[in-house]
Structure 1
Amino acid sequence: MKLVRIKEVMDRTGLGRSTVYKYMNLGLFPKPIRLGSRAVAWVESEVVAWIQHGIECRDSESI
């Protein structure tokens, strides 16, 4: 299991920092794991699954 920090999450998703946190608060994006008092990271497989879900939704809408 690999953990990714916010920069990589932003690079992979194309979302900005504030949008990542907004989607998290709305329950639309995976929540991070706390690494320390000021550090968090996301489980890479959860971020990949979120991206894949977006692709599947897009593909099912175009049918």
Structure 2
Amino acid sequence: MATDSFIRLAEVLKRTSLSRATLYRKIQDGSFPAQTKLSTRRCGWKESVLQNWCDNPMNWSAASMQSPENQ
């Protein structure tokens, strides 16, 4: 089973071309995947989830990521 690496904020902003404010606004309204807390002061995004968003940013929703293997 391959492990899914985590991407930090700077790389997420670079890959998506979103500003930090827009990214967090999209997280709040459910049109961008929420980050995962990695430790007390660190968070990241799963690379596979970020790629899923990048493949279809206009139609991505948190509900689209719900599948038996993701729960």
TM-score over 0.5 (shorter chain) = yes
Paired-residue identity, %: 32
* 1:10 positional shift: 0.3
- Which residue of the partner structure matches residue 61 of structure 1? none
**Is there any run of 5+ residues in structure 1 with no aligned partner, and where?**
58-63
TM-score of the pair, normalised by structure 1: 0.80
User: Which residue of structure 2 aligns with residue 17 of structure 1?
Assistant: 20
> Comparing both structures, which one devotes a greater share of its residues to helix?
1
TM-score, with structure 2 as normaliser:
0.72
> Which runs of no fewer than 5 residues in structure 2 stay unpaired?
60-71
Q: RMSD in angstroms over aligned alpha carbons?
A: 1.4
Moved over 6 A (4+): none
